Structure formats: structure tokens, C-alpha cells
Amino acid sequence: SQQGEEDPQALSIQEGENATMNCSYKTSINNLQWYRQNSGRGLVHLILIRSNEREKHSGRLRVTLDTSKKSSSLLITASRAADTASYFCATDATSAGTASKLTFGTGTRLQVTL
Amino acid sequence: KAGVTQTPRYLIKTRGQQVTLSCSPISGHRSVSWYQQTPGQGLQFLFEYFSETQRNKGNFPGRFSGRQFSNSRSEMNVSTLELGDSALYLCASSLLGGLYEQYFGPGTRLTVT
């Protein structure tokens, strides 16, 4: 079963605009990871944010985590056509050095047009 | 470092057959997990292996099994294939498992006819 929902399900923007995707989850977590997937291909790891962190940056990506609201957001600034993909959040409730099990959201399909 | 590799990339099988998929993790990573992705169910966890032991298992029937070798390479096997097993099977590699980044391979696209 899916841990959470992503919102919106689909997002269409123009190149240069910012894209914001939201992820909600149901249980307490240790970390949350964001992934990108181009059509039918493998998942590309974007960023990991731990439960004791509130914000993290990586290049044009900014991720926030609100554990009280059980939600996270991914902001892509100055989007490019190459950012067109599906984006997934995945939560991990397991402990350090123990079995890992990611529970994925439903994904947001981002379309960036020229 | 080389990324996670999966073989084969594409596979077509007939109902009732069995299939074995292979995954080579990133060098030094000891945890290997498997996920199934379908349009209807999304991404679902199958199982995770660490040091040749299955540490965690998802909600899949016993037809789905796996193993891990001493070099951390992993295989998953699906016996008595059903049409519903058609999916993208993804392998993820992690340094130690929980709390660490999971890096995914390109996947094996399995089609069951």
C-alpha cells in the first residue's frame, strides 16, 4: 500500500518557472527521500532529508520536511525541459543499521515546456 | 563508482514459466532491496537482503523469492508467472540499509503473456 499521496498528480509549467510538489505520509518516519523517474526507467535519487532536519538544498532543489504535519515539499527552481519526469517521495521508517523498506507516494508527473 | 546494474533489461515470458532477475549493487554497498512497479499499484517493496540474509519482506506471495551472494549481488526469482506479474522490477542498493540513501538500477521490464 502507498504510504502517502503526492500533490498535484500532474503539473505543467514553462521553462524557467518554479515547480513545487507536495508529499504527505501517514506514519512516523526516520527519513524521506525524493526520486525522479523518466518514462519507464529507473529511479534517480535526488535528496534525502532526515526526520530531524527541516530543510535541505541541492543545486536547484529545495526540500522541506514538516514532521508535525507529516508532509514534505520539493521545489525545483528555474525548471528546464530536462526536468520533465515523474517525481516520487519515499519514506523510511526503519532504524539505522537495520532493514530498509521504502514506502512510495503516488508520484507527480511534471511537464516542462519550452 | 559504477551504479547499480540489472540484467536483463527486458524479458518476455509465458504464464506458468519462471524467471530470474539479477542485480549488482554499487561497490561497497551491502544492502540490496527489490521493488515492483506497476501502473495500478505503483512502487511496492518486495524484500531486502543484507549479508546474504533476508531482513525484510513485503506483501507478496511465496512465488516471489530472492537471495544474495557473498559479493552482495542479488537475484530475485518469480515462479509460476501470472499476467499480473508484468511490471518493472527495480533493484536498490544501499550502504547499510536503514537511514541511508537507496540508489536504484535501471530496472528489468518483465512482460508475461
For B13-52, the pLDDT digits (tens) are: 999 999 999 999 999 999 999 999 999 999 999 999 999 9
pLDDT value at position A2? 46
Residues of B in contact with A107 (CB under 8 A): 42
Q: Do A42 and B45 touch (CB under 8 A)?
A: no
* pLDDT band per the 50, 70, 90 thresholds, residue B74: very high
- Chain A partners of B97 at a C-beta cutoff of 8 Å? 94, 97-100
Rounded to an integer, what is the distance from CA A114 to the centroid of its chain? 23
pLDDT for A41 equals: 86
| Mean pLDDT, residues A62-75 | 97
Contacts of A105 (CB under 8 A, 6+ apart): A2, A3, A4, A5, A6, A23, A24, A25, A88, A89, A90
Measured between CA atoms, the residue of chain B closest to residue A94 is B98
Query: Rg of chain A over CA atoms, in angstroms?
Result: 14
Q: How far is A86 from chain B (nearest CA, A)?
A: 12
Contact predicate B110/B91, CB 8 Å:
no
Helix (H/G/I), strand (E/B), else coil: B71: coil
The pLDDT of A65-94, averaged and rounded, is 95
Assign A97 a pLDDT band (cuts: 50, 70, 90).
low
Residue B90 distance to chain A (closest CA, Å): 7
